[in-house]
């Protein structure tokens, strides 16, 4: 080899669970029907693993003269973040990937056969809201944690969108949606319908476009919570009636609602791929040559490690050739024709960097 690398990374060997009772086919057996290949992981991400493996088999058989070293890295543990010290994170941490900075790094774990220009940072949160249990016939003596949760989330969302509005660069990168902060799950204390609930938990996520810093965002949200706990009464608008208060002085004492924000796991850093790099140009040219069109896009979904690797000096470009419509879903499939085209696209890229 003269100098440089071309790397395919991001495709992973593990898959999410599947319930055979909700599938029309056995999710743990490859079923081929026409152009469709059904089975858990065909789109995410075993179809990519097989396609890249075939690429290397063909390189081994045909032995073309290569100016650049061609590298593939398959990830052992991407879907399950509860297993420590396993996966591509450890390769990065221990410097095992540093030699790949000398060329484009294609992260092959998106979908729909077009270049993905950007992904979002992601942070998962739980808002714990503490109230005071009491009989609902005497609401002035309770602090309704459910109402507190609803008002707190509304307040926090309003401030979030003030601090992280749509960014000018989102249109350049073709993001379908701006940054968002939203609740997705609610649970509360078990009780009867005539009890003021003493606690409520709301879970949700932040999806932050990569033009904002996720660490700064987390710090901002924690600041909202600190301010609310200092004066929880600012949440009382009167729209819930005269007895819905979060700071009460009654005969039994002084009672006040409390909020606590917990971050359920380490935030994932998003990425805005470098649009002026040789790696990006090669991907666009190859896509146009093979498919006849190039329609890049960005999403506020997230991918692990891509932002961290870009910050460490890698030219990360994101692509994928499964179907986003069946990601993690029942009856998951990929198209054989799409994987064949992916092989052609990667061959086109290798030809460009080995002229």
Q: Sign of torsion, CA 314 318 322 328?
A: positive
Q: How far apart, in whole angstroms, are the C-alpha atoms of residue 318 and residue 271? A: 9
DSSP annotation string for 293-315: ----EE-S---SSHHHHHHTT-E
φ/ψ of 231, rounded to 5, equals -145, 80
Q: How far apart are CA 4 and CA 105, in angstroms?
A: 11
The beta strands (E) that lie in the chain are given as 5-12, 31-33, 36-38, 69-75, 104-108, 116-119, 121-130, 134-135, 180-188, 195-196, 199-208, 247-250, 253-256, 258-263, 271-272, 297-298, 315-319, 333-335
| Rounded Cα–Cα distance for residues 228 and 181 (Å) | 18
CA distance 180 to 186: 18
Helices 145-163 and 214-230 pack at an angle, to 10 degrees, of 140
E-only strand ranges, 264-302: 271-272, 297-298
Q: What six digits make up the tokens of 310?
A: 């870009």
- Mapped onto helix, strand or coil, the DSSP state of residue 263 is strand
Q: CB of 207 within 8 A of CB of 179? A: yes
What's the DSSP call for residue 132?
Answer: B
Q: Would you mind telling me the total number of residues written for the chain in this entry? A: 355
> Residue 304: how many CA atoms within 13 Å on its side-chain side?
17
**Which residues form the catalytic set?**
14, 78
> 248 and 143 in contact (C-beta within 8 Å)?
yes
Count of beta carbons in the 10 Å neighbourhood of residue 129: 27
């Amino acid at each position: 080899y003269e100098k440089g690398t071309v790397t395919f990374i991001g495709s992973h060997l593990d898959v999410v669970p599947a319930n055979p009772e909700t599938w029309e086919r056995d999710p743990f057996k490859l079923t081929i029907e026409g152009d469709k290949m059904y089975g858990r992981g065909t789109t995410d991400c075993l179809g990519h693993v097989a396609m890249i493996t075939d690429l290397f088999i063909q390189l081994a058989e045909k032995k073309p003269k290569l100016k650049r070293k061609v590298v593939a890295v398959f990830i052992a543990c991407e879907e399950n973040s509860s297993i420590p010290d396993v996966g591509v994170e450890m390769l990065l941490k221990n410097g095992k990937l540093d030699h790949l900075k000398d060329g484009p790094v294609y992260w092959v774990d998106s979908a729909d056969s077009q270049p993905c220009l950007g992904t979002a940072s992601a942070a998962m949160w739980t808002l714990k809201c503490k109230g005071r249990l009491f009989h609902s016939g005497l609401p002035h003596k309770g602090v309704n944690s459910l109402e507190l949760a609803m008002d707190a989330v509304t307040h926090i969302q309003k401030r979030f969108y003030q601090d992280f509005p749509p960014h000018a660069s989102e249109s350049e990168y073709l993001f379908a949606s701006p940054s968002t902060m939203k609740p997705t799950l609610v649970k509360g204390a078990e009780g009867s319908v005539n009890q003021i609930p003493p606690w409520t938990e709301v879970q949700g996520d932040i999806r932050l476009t990569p033009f904002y810093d996720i660490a700064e965002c987390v710090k901002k949200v924690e600041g909202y919570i600190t301010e609310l706990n200092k004066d929880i009464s600012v949440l009382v608008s009167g729209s819930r009636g005269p007895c819905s208060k979060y700071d009460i002085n009654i005969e039994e004492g002084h009672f006040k609602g409390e909020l606590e924000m917990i971050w359920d796991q380490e935030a994932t850093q998003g990425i805005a791929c470098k649009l002026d790099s040789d790696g990006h140009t090669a991907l666009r040219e190859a896509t146009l040559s093979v498919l006849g069109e190039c329609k890049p896009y960005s999403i506020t979904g997230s991918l692990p490690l891509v932002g961290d690797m870009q910050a460490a000096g890698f030219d990360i470009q994101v692509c994928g050739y499964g179907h986003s419509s069946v990601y993690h879903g029942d009856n998951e499939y990929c198209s054989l024709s799409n994987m064949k085209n992916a092989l052609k696209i990667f061959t086109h890229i290798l030809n460009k960097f080995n002229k």
